[in-house]
Structures are given as structure tokens and as C-alpha cells.
Structure 1
Amino acid sequence: MQSIPGNLLVEVLLGLYLGLLTGIVPAFVAGSLGFLVRYFTGVTLPGFGVVVLALSIASVQGGLLGLVEPTIAQSPRLLIAVLVVLMLALYAHNQGDKLGAELPRRLSFTRLRQRTLSADVVELVGSVGQVTVRPTGEIHDMEGYPPLSPSLRQALKAGSWRLPADLPLSELEARLEERLRTDHDLGDVDVAIDEQGRATIVAAPPSGSLSRRVPAGKRAVTIATLVPTGVAQGDEVTVRAAERSITGTVLSARTAVDDEHAANATPEESPDEVATDGGEDTEPAVVDPKPNAATAGGPGRATVVVARRDVKPILEADSPRLVVRSRGTSREFEALALVKREGYAIRRFTVSATGSDDEATDFDATAPTADVTILAVRRQGSETGGRRHGWVFGPGIERRLEAGDEAFVAGPSDAIEAFVEAIAR
């Protein structure tokens, strides 16, 4: 076998070196053009055009680098350099064309943040899609807080929550966090929901729940008195101590009947029942009633929020009496009744983020369309990481509806249905 001559080996190596040196710029240009043409027009740039463009750029670049000389032009290294340049340009063009075909159109950071649920987990209840969110894995303790109690951890792990399926995952997480804070009075909670409706929960136990419900400048006082039947957290009451009448707000109330009911609670009534394996019987856990549960009435204790100056008169009274004050008729229900009396309906919807974006952005929220009136809009901004702003009540809404906005509309039922089908998802 004859060995390769030394001069030919040197020419091959020099050709590879010159091809790599002059082929970087043509490859970059060919890849960029292939991506742009395919992304914006959907047409693949012809390979012959890529070859001509690469050779043109390489010749200009070779002249600027002083590579076009008689000795180089007559040597095999030039042919090898040209082949390397063409291969690099064609490869870069192929990769750019593939990237242009696979990259989604109308890509936006807002849409990337608004991940939605998988269609497999959506349940249709009538014409409304809902999803049942369940925790996955263990309930984790939040760093910097005490660990959760076993009963609270078990209650969270066994829980399930039904939420609207037409919301992005960030909004579902915010709603579930708020529900967990309300239902279990958690000190803090962080929820992450995936596309399959599985929630990863990091929670902190309740701490200082009473003090957090006392407004600034107020004091909470517990009195032993006759508690009216049905009193619950948030009721406005009047404490009559001696000759004074002191107004306050109920934080919690408990009567002897409530204590007796909790003591006689059966395992079926307790959600924290734990099945045993035949060993020693364990006493069923007694679940404390929720803070806002109505009392059964009778002799008991009530914790009331009053002004600081009224604490001493209440504590000095021998037998204070508790009188529930009237809040009057709810104005919200009256307004809703008037709207329904005129034959109108109120509907809440979310503006579509796909498919009908152009229609949604072209709709002017300041003018009624087909007898449909915009009552309020809640928008989502990028500066808040996808979180919702507060409700903006119309009329006088300056901006038009955008993808991801939530809105309340009022009008005839048929007009509302047509309007929602046009711009809602």
C-alpha cells in the first residue's frame, strides 16, 4: 500500500482550514435567510440559490482575506475549501428552514405564561367546562413556618376542588390558594398546578388567626352571655353593659350546645376518621367548627371586636347582653333583581386567547354592541407576572378588550350568547 504524499496531505488540511475560515459567514447568512423565508412565507429557499449565495459571499470574503492568489487557485486546497463552504451553507440552510417550519406563529410571552389544562381532564357540566384539582404527592411544609398538624395535612391531602377549566394555570393556582386560605385558615400557601390538574401544595399552619382578624386600633374581648341562635363570624352586634350600648363585630361564638355536639360527634361525622389495622382503637379526632359556622344559641361565649376605649366597660359589666344588629337589605341582590326584572341577564366570561384574538382586540368596550353592555373588566398585565388587576367598572373603560381579560356583561340572553360565542373561549 502506497502512503499518501506529504504535499497532498498538507493541501487537504489547508483546504479544510480555509473552508472553515471562509464558510462561517456564508453559513450564517444561509441559515438566517432559510429561517426567515420559511417562517414568514412558508416557502423553502431553493438549494441552488443557497449555493450561488454562499459562493458569492465566500469569494468576496476570500478576496478580502487575500486568499485568492495564483498559487492557491491552482492548488487542490481551493477545491476542498469550496466543498467545505458549500456543505456548511447547505447544512445551515437546512437547520434554519426546519426551525422556521416548527416555530409557532404569533409567539408572545403572555401566551407562553398562560399555560392551560389538558383537554383530557376537562369535565363538561352542561355547557361549562370544569376540572377537579387533586393534590399529588405529599403536602410539603413551608420553610420558615412550623410543620403542619397530622389532621390538617391529611385533610389537605384528601381534598379535591372543582374549578373552571377555561382559565390559565396561573389563575387556577391563585384561586386555589385563596380557597385553601379561606377553608383552612392557613398562614401561607403556595400551589403549583400542572396540565393534568394535579396540584403540588406547600402550606403553613394557622398562626395568630385571631389577631390577624382584628383591625388596627381595635381590641377583641370575650364575654360570657346568652348567644343568639345563628350568630356567626362577621355579624354586627351591640353589647349592652350596664347603661352603655357598645357596637362591635363578632369574631367567633361558641355555646354549650356546640360543645356538646362536638363531644358527641360520631366517626361518620368527622372527616378525619382514620381506618385502623386491627390494633388498638384510637379516639376519633374532634373537628373544630369553622370560624364562620353559625352557633346553635344558648349560654356561651362570644369574642367581639370593639374600640379600645370600650374594653374596660365591657370587662367591668356583671352580665353583658348581646343584641344582633340589622345590616339591612343587600344592595347587590336588589340591583341583580332589578336587572332580571327587565328581562336582562348577566354573564361572566374570559376573552379568548386563541382563534378569535383579532375580534376581541377590535371590540370597543366603551360602546354597547347588539344591546350588550360591559359592566366591569379585570385585566391581566405582564408587569404583575400574569396576576390579575382589580376590576374596572364601566362606563368609561379607556382600553379595548384584550386576550385574557375577564368581563361581566349585561343584556338580552340571545344577544349575550352571540356576543360570548364571538369573543369568549
Structure 2
Amino acid sequence: MTLPVEILLGLYLGLLTGIVPAFVAGSLGFLVRYFTGVTLPGFGVVVLALSIASVQGGLLGLVEPDIAQSPRLLVAVLVVLMLALYAHNQGDKLGAELPRRLSLTSIRQRTLSADVVELVGTMGQVTVRPTGEIRDMEGYPPLPPVLRGTLKNGSWKLPADIPLSELELRLEERLRTDHDLADIDVTIDEQARATITAAPPSGGLSRRVPEGQRAVTIATLVPTGVARGDEVLVRTGERTITGTVLSAGTEIDAEQADTATTKPPTEDGTTALPDGEPESDPEPTERSTASTAGGVGRVTIAVARRAVTSLLEAESPRLVVRSRGTSQEFEAFALIRRSGYVIRRLTVGSTDAVDDPASETDVTMLAVRRQGSETGGRRHGWVFGPGIERALESGDEVFIAGPEAAIDEFVAVIGR
């Protein structure tokens, strides 16, 4: 046969014979690199590939004795070696890049797509909007139309540097608090689209009335910003009654709710303007339980049983909000800030520098949540200092405090 034909036959025989040696070389390269971190020597790959190919080639030589005397044998050997070395290189690369500590927790901790993250200063945030219809929770009555429309047209801003399971938990807590939902289940995808299944409030007022007290509704002038949980004084002539606000609503709140429900929503959840252009940040269609707009309205207050009669007989009660003082948590953060320290939460990515004492000289770990201690997307497993004894591992979440420069350096070294 002519030389070109011999070369083509050699390529054919090399591809046919080199499949098994390439598969074995790639598998061994991956296993050795993944479990030991050592690259399998190329000479060993060549010897192994030639050994396997010689078995197949010997069987083929029994059928065609002229193969050993033709140029096609040399071409076939070169093809087998190239396939084996290429497969070994790819297997070694895969063994080096594949995470060695792969757990169900790390798989469950999905993150948001970078396209939906908004940078606000040095922090990222994301606007979560519902997708599809708001579903009814099985075993509960259907949602009222107003509440269903409020949830469907709503949008919520949340931090973007936490896993999706944590985002789902925070949104559930916010919606449960804002709308007194009996139960709720939220699923958020990588594009910050939320699938919401909710149950309407059931017995919300009775659950909020403390034992031994009664809920009384009065019509009065409501101060702007009054919210559930505020401590108030109701002055009825010569008597002053102490109580806790359970709910409050004014005429302005009702007007705003009516105006919001009459605006037709667009497909992306925003509210359409008269000229057809959507608003960039629509106002919520229902004021949450955070505060009221103020004005003439009605307030439901939890008061002692003996004060119910006096409160109901009052003709023009006056509502005064009591001061709770300064929040101790905010005071603590203010003191830390004035001292030149900052507190930051991060997820550990690399632990190479954690064992170095110099890297933690000015950084204090306040709390740690281990990677395997989170179950079902619920927050468990926080260990607070000084009980942090075990070294940090990849995937752990940690709160740290220290000077801002030291914190930035620490985050750059081990942060994910």
C-alpha cells in the first residue's frame, strides 16, 4: 500500500486501540490527584498505555501479521500515546479543581446571580420580587384578594451576600411579621424571583393580647409613626391608662391602600403610570405593621381588665406615646464605631492563613457557625466567643470585629 493509505490506517488503528488506554490513564490521573494531591508521572502513563495497547495490538497482530512490518504500527503507537497523555492531563486537571469537601450543605447553599446584585456603597443588595401567582397554603383558607394583590405587587430589598436559604428565611420572617400570616413558604431562585405560598392571618389579634389583659379599640388622633408594640398612655379626663398598641390605622392609611390597589401592575411587578411607563421603585400597596401615617384613626390597645370600662366610657381620649429609651444594641454598635472598630460577617473560603497567628492579631472572632451545623435552611449552630476553640474551616460563617484596615485584610485573605 502507498504511504498515505498506511498513515490513514495507522490513525484508524490508533483511535480504535487507544480508547481503553486513554480511559484508564484519565481515571488514574484523576483519582491520584484528587485523593493524594500528587500528579501521576507522564512516564508511568506512557508505560501503562503501551502495556494496555500491546495486549490489544497483539490480538490484532494475530489476525493481521503484516501490521508489525508496516508504517501503520508507528502511527498507531503515536496516536495511542497522545490520547493517553491528553486524557491523563484532563483527569489531573479535574482532580485539582474538584472540591474535596463536598457536602449537602454546600450544595444547598446556592447564591444569587451577579446580574441581579445591586452595589450600595461597599455592600451588595438585591430586590426580590414574586413570580407567578401567590399560592394558597394547603389546610388553610384562601388568601383575601387585597392581601394576595399586596404580596404579588410587592418587592423587598435584602442583602445579597448570604445564601439563598438564608434569603428565603429572612423574607418569610418579614412577610409573616408585616402581614400576620399564619404560615408561609418562600422559594427564591438565582434571579431573585420568589415563589410564595402563604396562609391568611387566623386569630392574629387574640394571639397578641397578653394574658390577663383585654383589647380595646378607641377612636382618637393617632401620632405619626405609631406601630404595633409601642407603649402608650391614654388620658381620659383625670385618669391615665397604660397600654400596648396591638394595631393602628388611620384615614390616610386607608386612602393610600385604596389608591395603590387601583393601579394596574405590569408584568414585572411594577406599577404602571398614566403614560404607560412603569415606576422604578413602586410603593407597597399596603402599609405594613411598621408604622402608620398618622391622623384621625382607630387604635387597638391591650390594657388591664380593670381599665376597660373607663376607657370605653371616655368621650375624647388622648393618645401619648411613651419613650422606650435608647436601644442597647444600637448603643453598643455606636461605641464600637467610635472606637474605630467595625463588625463584619463573612463566609470562610480559604483557610491557608487562619493558622497564622499574625493574621488574627487585631481581629476578634465574635461568633462562628460551622458548615455542617445548618439544617433545613434554619439558623442553628452559632458558637459565641470565647467558646470558639476549633479552627475555622472552609464554608464556616463568622462574625469578626477589629480595625477596618485589619478586617479588610482578613476578609481579602480568607473571605469567599
> What TM-score results when the alignment is normalised by the length of structure 1?
0.65
Alignment of 1:228-377 (within 5 A): 229-230=223-224, 231-238=226-233, 247-254=242-249, 258-259=250-251, 261-262=252-253, 264-265=255-256, 269-270=259-260, 272-274=262-264, 289-294=287-292, 296=294, 301-306=298-303, 310-315=304-309, 318-319=313-314, 322-342=319-339, 344-353=340-349, 356-360=350-354, 362=355, 369-377=360-368
Aligned residues: 349
**Pick aligned residue for 2:183 from 180, 188, 211:** 188
- Cα pair 1:237 1:324 within 8 Å, conserved: yes
Displacement after TM superposition at 1:385 (Å): 3.4
- What displacement does 1:234 show? 1.0
The residue number in structure 2 matching 1:141 is 136
Given the alignment of the two structures, is residue 106 of structure 1 paired with residue 106 of structure 2, yes or no? Answer: no
Partner deviation per Cα, 1:110-143 (whole Å, 9 max, x = no partner): 3222222233333333333333333233222221
Match of 2:170 in 1: 175
Counterparts of 1:126 and 1:263, CA distance in 2:
36
In the alignment, does 2:391 pair up with 1:403? no
Aligned to 1:26: none
Measure the CA separation in 2 of the matches of 1:151 and 1:382: 40
CA offsets 1:148-167 (integer angstroms, 9 cap, x no match): 23333333233333333322
Taking the aligned partners of 2:87 and 2:134, their CA distance within structure 1 comes to 45
Letter in 2 for 1:224: I
3-state secondary structure, aligned to 1:249: strand
Q: After superposition, what is the alpha-carbon deviation per residue over 1:1-38, rounded to whole angstroms, capped at 9, x for unaligned?
A: xxxxxxxxxxxxxxxxxxxxxxxxxxxx9997565336
2:278 maps to which residue? none
- What is the distance in 1 between the residues matched to 2:238 and 2:371? 54
Match of 1:417, SS?
Answer: helix
Give the superposition deviation at 1:102: 4.5
Of residues 406-415 and 37-46 in structure 1, the stretch that sits farther from structure 2 once superposed is 37-46
- Cα deviations across residues 249-296 of structure 1 (Å, max 9, x unaligned)? 211234xxx23x3565596x42552379xxxxxxxxx96643332362
Shift of 1:346: 1.8
Gaps of 5+ in 2: 1-23, 64-85, 266-271, 273-283
Decide whether the 8 Å contact of 1:134 with 1:161 is kept in 2.
Answer: yes
CA contact (8 A) 1:374 1:409 kept: yes
Deviations 1:401-423 (A, max 9, x none): 34344443333222222222222
Bigger drift between 244-253 and 178-187 goes to 244-253
SS in 2 for 1:270: helix
Residue 175 and residue 329 in structure 1: after superposition, are their counterparts in 2 closer, same or farther (change >3 A)?
Answer: closer
Provide the rounded CA distance (Å) in 1 between the counterparts of 2:255 and 2:376: 49
1:10 alignment partner in structure 2: none
2:32 aligned residue (37, 41, 64): 37
Task: Please give the alpha-carbon distance, in whole angstroms, between the structure 2 residues aligned to 1:47 and 1:424.
Answer: 41
Deviations 1:287-331 (A, max 9, x none): 664333236255x5432234xxx3144235532765533322222
Letter in 1 for 2:45: P
- Amino acid of the structure 1 residue aligned with 2:410: F
How well do the aligned residues superpose, as a CA RMSD in angstroms? 4.5
Q: Matches of 1:48 and 1:266 in 2, distance apart? A: 79
Question: Contact 1:351 / 1:405 at 8 angstroms: preserved in 2?
Answer: yes
Deviation at 1:222, TM superposition (A): 0.8
Give the Cα separation in 2 of the matches to 1:379 and 1:212. 35
Q: Aligned partner of 1:105: which letter?
A: P
Shift of 1:173: 1.7
C-alpha separation in 1, matches of 2:261 and 2:414: 43
Distance 1:125 1:369 in 2: 28
In the alignment, the residues of structure 1 paired with residue 337 and residue 26 of structure 2 have an alpha-carbon distance, to the nearest angstrom, of: 62
Q: Secondary structure at the match of 1:410?
A: strand
- Show structure 1 runs of 5+ residues with no match: 1-28, 57-75, 81-93, 277-285
Alignment-mate amino acid for residue 346 of structure 2:
T
CA contact (8 A) 2:234 2:319 kept: yes
User: Within 2, Cα distance between the matches of 1:262 and 1:128?
Assistant: 33
SS of the aligned residue for 1:111 comes to: helix
Distance in 1 between residues matched to 2:286 and 2:93, nearest whole Å: 60
Q: Given the alignment, which residue of 201, 204, 228 partners 2:199?
A: 204
Give the match for residue 3 of structure 2: none
For the structure 1 residues 271 and 370, does the alpha-carbon distance in structure 2 shift closer, same or farther, using more than 3 Å as the test? farther
Match of residue 152, structure 2, among 136, 141, 157: 157
Q: Which amino acid aligns with 2:331?
A: E
Task: Check 1:376–1:316 CA distance in 2 against 1; reply closer, same or farther (3 A cut).
Answer: same
For residue 178 of structure 1, what is the amino acid of its counterpart?
Answer: E
Report the CA distance shift for 1:30/1:210 in structure 2 as closer, same or farther (over 3 A): same
Letter in 2 for 1:311: R
Return the offset for 1:227. Answer: 5.0
In 1, Cα distance between equivalents of 2:154 and 2:286: 17
* TM-score with structure 2 setting the length: 0.66
